[in-house]
């Protein structure tokens, strides 16, 4: 009996040894294939954007070989069994899911993108070929579906407990898929929505609002200038341009504001064109602006598009320098400073400033529509602007707006969250143009799990001013309320996750008063702070999530003249 038991132990030990050895070999093979696939995927992306279809096809073939091999190396019964083991099983399972996701992308998403002619997505001679764009819709849908499925597979991998190299690989792939998904989703929606939006079913008219980031508002900046454009059969024509201030103030709100809105912003969004976007909810701001324009002109537009000078700087990288009649030539390096700082020294009257902003923006868009533009550079510029929420669009037609709802273009915080989402939105409090000098940093840390199933979130904001202490024009200094006219006064609106709650706040380490309101199902903490020239203020806000297991979080921010420095620190999953 002892001899039989010993033989049994030896046999089992040998089998375990062989299994571990087999897993080690297969794991090493999978690692090599995945590393090769990652490098090939980066090359493929560059070749697709560069229009080098012949080389891209060869790269795709090599990528598919490596991705398939990685999937095969992690797909045998031994790997499956080890993936369910108590020790190391999570890592093996994660590698398997990564391999499957990469292989699915190589077989479904990348071939569809490779078959797409990028020239389809850019205008020629002022017109977009809508028939070719419509023909591209199926390929874009295939690619977007594959990316979303791969992203869901990777996001389902539990990050806690993984070995560091595996965890970092999962996080890196998840980030890349998020960026790729934002691009494919926007392109898919564009292929479906752009044809009717650009007039295949009849002429459309839109308001294009240019957000002046020097005076912050929740979506970016005040609607300082605007243009009216008409689209028909893919051709865009500028009908009129002007200053939003010319619309004047209204005696009563142009549409009824609900009690929650009035509690947060008073009735200002419905009275002043510059205040429609005190709320970060772009559809509300756009609908108010549309109604104001209708009241003053009698013209009913089909939608509202908003953008800003930073987007213009991105576009100028693709289209080159653009002259503006009677003003300095705009370049990608100079556009933001020229429009948001220098203009206030050269031009004293606010209406003349707004007219200049509109003229500058229209000059850039005219060049975009009439010049021969490299598709790669243009798509990169647009993708960057959309990702940063610097291009927002609202359609007055409910069916079209519904199709936009889950894209960044909509400017709508998610009503059903997959992860707790915090919003930080800034509004100027003095009518000044000191927002150009703002510096911004935000850190969101996912904290402890509470016994009631909620999680703590710690938000830390560093808001500074690089403004000089003298020498600025009156139009920059705004209302010049009592105190230092060069100080930057901000009102920060901190939106909690849906079902969450602001707990307390500290400003520069001292307890700060926080008013609490509600907007669209979220609690909103309202805090005011003044920033003297050359100073930085530290604002800390503690929040609670609803009941959740996830240790992830998302952060939405008001776009500015300069980028935010941001960091989100996740945590492990709560045990329920």
- Residue 242 and residue 171 share a domain: no
pLDDT in the model for residue 77: 63
Task: Output the pLDDT for position 7.
Answer: 34
Kindly report the backbone phi and psi dihedral angles of residue 517, in degrees, each rounded to the nearest multiple of 5, phi listed first: -130, -170
pLDDT of residue 562: 92
Q: Are 245 and 354 in contact (CB under 8 A)?
A: yes
**Looking at the domain assignment, is residue 5 inside a domain?**
no
Domain match, 219 and 72 both: no
Residues sharing a CB contact under 8 Å with residue 156, sequence separation 6 or more, in sequence order? 97
Cβ-based neighbours of 87, under 8 Å, separated by 6 or more: none
What is 324-359 written as a DSSP string?
ETTEEEE-TTTHHHIIIIIHHHH--SHHHHHHHHHH
How many angstroms separate the CA atoms of 374 and 123, rounded?
11
Residue 362 lies in a domain: yes
Indicate whether 380 belongs to any domain: yes
Assigned domain for 411 exists: no
Tokens, residue 403: 């199709």
Tokens at residue 75, please?
């797909």
For residues 235 and 123, what is the distance between their CA atoms, to the nearest angstrom?
9
Same domain, 190 and 276: no
- Residue-wise over 333-363: b if at least 16 C-beta within 10 A, else e? eebbebbbbebbeebeeeeebbbbbbbbbbb
Phi, psi of 26 (to 5 degrees): -65, -40
- Same domain flag for 472 and 505: yes
| Domain co-membership, 136 together with 59 | yes
Count of the separate structural domains present in the chain: 3
Instruction: Confirm if 26 and 73 have CB atoms less than 8 A apart.
Output: yes
Cβ burial, residue 189 (10 Å; 0-12/13-18/19+)? buried
Is residue 104 situated within a structural domain? yes
pTM of the shown model: 0.82
- Does one domain contain both 30 and 154? yes
370 Cα distance to chain centroid: 28
Task: Say if 9 falls within a structural domain.
Answer: no
Question: Residue 23's pLDDT is what?
Answer: 35
Residue 65: Cβ-neighbour burial (10 angstroms; 0-12, 13-18, 19+)? middle
**What are the φ/ψ torsions at residue 79 (nearest 5 degrees)?**
-65, -45
Compute the chain's Rg from CA coordinates. Answer: 27
- Domain end residue (candidates: 166, 196, 226): 196
**Per-10-residue mean pLDDT for the chain, 576 residues long?**
37 31 42 63 67 78 78 65 54 72 79 72 72 81 83 74 68 72 74 81 93 96 92 86 90 95 96 97 98 97 96 94 93 95 87 84 85 79 89 94 87 91 95 94 95 95 95 82 83 97 96 96 96 96 94 95 94 75
Q: What is the C-alpha separation between 48 and 56, in angstroms, rounded?
A: 6
| 497/349 same-domain check | no
Bridge partners, 426 (sequence order): 492
Q: How far apart are CA 407 and CA 22, in angstroms?
A: 45
Q: Judge residue 11's burial from the number of C-beta atoms within 10 Å of its C-beta, 0-12 exposed, 13-18 middle, 19 or more buried.
A: exposed
- How far apart (Å, rounded) are the C-alpha atoms in residues 523 and 499? 8
- Domain end: 352, 368, 400, which one? 400
Q: Which two tokens stand for residue 65?
A: 């070989």
Domain of residue 530, CATH code: 2.60.40
Q: Which residue, of 400, 428, 445, is where some domain finishes? A: 400
Are 189 and 240 part of one and the same domain?
no
Q: What whole-number distance in Å separates Cα of residue 46 and Cα of residue 376?
A: 9
Same domain as 367, residue 493:
no
460 DSSP β-pair partners: 443, 540
Residue 280: predicted pLDDT = 98
What domain range includes position 24? 20-196
Look at residue 10 and tell me if it is in a domain: no
pLDDT at 235: 85
In a domain, 183, yes or no: yes
pLDDT of residue 328: 93
Query: Is the torsion defined by CA of 52, 57, 59, 63 positive or negative?
Result: positive
Cα dihedral 296, 302, 308, 313, rounded to 10, equals -130
Do 507 and 543 fall within a single domain?
Answer: yes
Residues 73 and 173 in one domain: yes
Which pLDDT does position 11 carry in this prediction? Answer: 32
Q: Identify the pLDDT of residue 59.
A: 80
Same-domain check for residues 28 and 160:
yes
């Amino acid at each position: 009996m002892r001899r039989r038991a010993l033989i049994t132990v030896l046999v089992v030990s040998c089998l375990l040894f062989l299994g571990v050895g087999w897993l080690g070999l297969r794991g090493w093979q999978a690692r090599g294939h995945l590393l090769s696939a990652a490098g090939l995927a980066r090359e493929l992306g560059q070749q697709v954007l560069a229009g080098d279809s012949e080389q891209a096809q060869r790269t795709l073939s090599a990528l598919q070989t490596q991705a398939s091999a990685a999937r095969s190396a992690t797909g045998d019964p031994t790997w499956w069994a080890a993936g369910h083991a108590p020790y190391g099983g999570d890592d093996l399972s994660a590698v398997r899911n990564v391999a499957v996701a990469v292989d699915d992308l190589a077989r479904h998403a990348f071939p569809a993108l490779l078959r797409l002619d990028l020239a389809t997505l850019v205008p020629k001679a002022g017109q977009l070929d809508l028939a070719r764009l419509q023909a591209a819709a199926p390929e874009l849908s295939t690619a977007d579906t594959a990316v979303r499925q791969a992203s869901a597979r990777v996001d389902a991998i539990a990050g806690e407990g993984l070995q560091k190299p595996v965890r970092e690989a999962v996080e890196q792939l998840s980030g890349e898929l998020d960026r790729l998904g934002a691009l494919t989703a926007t392109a898919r929606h564009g292929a479906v929505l752009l044809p009717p939006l650009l007039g295949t079913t009849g002429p459309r008219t839109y308001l294009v609002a240019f957000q002046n980031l020097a005076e912050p508002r929740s979506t970016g900046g005040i609607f300082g200038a605007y243009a009216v454009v008409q689209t028909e059969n893919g051709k865009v024509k500028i009908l009129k341009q002007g200053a939003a201030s010319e619309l004047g103030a209204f005696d009563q709100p142009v549409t009824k504001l609900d009690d929650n809105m009035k509690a947060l912003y008073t009735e200002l969004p419905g009275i002043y064109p510059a205040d429609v976007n005190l709320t970060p909810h772009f559809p509300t701001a756009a609908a108010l602006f549309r109604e104001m324009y209708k009241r003053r002109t009698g013209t009913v537009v089909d939608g509202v598009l908003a953008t800003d000078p930073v987007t213009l700087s991105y576009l100028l990288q693709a289209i080159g320098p653009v002259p503006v009649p009677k003003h300095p030539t705009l370049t990608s390096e100079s556009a933001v400073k020229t429009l948001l700082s220098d203009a206030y020294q050269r031009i004293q009257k606010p209406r003349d400033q707004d007219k200049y902003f509109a003229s500058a923006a229209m000059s850039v868009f005219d060049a975009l529509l009439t010049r021969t533009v490299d598709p790669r550079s243009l798509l990169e510029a647009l993708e960057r602007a959309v990702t940063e929420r610097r291009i927002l669009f609202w359609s007055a037609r409910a069916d079209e707006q519904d199709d936009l709802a889950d894209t960044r273009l909509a400017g709508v915080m998610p009503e059903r969250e997959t992860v707790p989402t915090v919003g930080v939105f800034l509004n100027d409090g003095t009518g000044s143009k000191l927002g150009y000098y703002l510096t911004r940093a935000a850190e969101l840390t996912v904290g402890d799990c509470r016994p009631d199933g909620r999680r703590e979130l710690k938000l830390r904001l560093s808001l500074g001013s690089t403004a000089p202490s003298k020498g600025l024009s009156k139009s920059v200094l705004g209302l010049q309320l009592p105190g230092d006219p060069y100080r930057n006064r901000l009102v920060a609106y901190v939106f909690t996750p849906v079902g969450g709650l602001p707990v307390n706040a500290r400003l520069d380490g001292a307890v700060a008063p926080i008013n609490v309101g509600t907007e669209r199902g979220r609690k909103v903490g309202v805090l005011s702070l003044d920033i003297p020239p050359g100073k930085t203020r530290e604002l800390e806000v503690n929040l609670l999530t609803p009941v959740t297991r996830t240790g992830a979080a998302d952060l939405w921010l008001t776009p500015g003249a300069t980028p935010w420095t941001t960091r989100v620190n996740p945590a492990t999953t709560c045990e329920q």
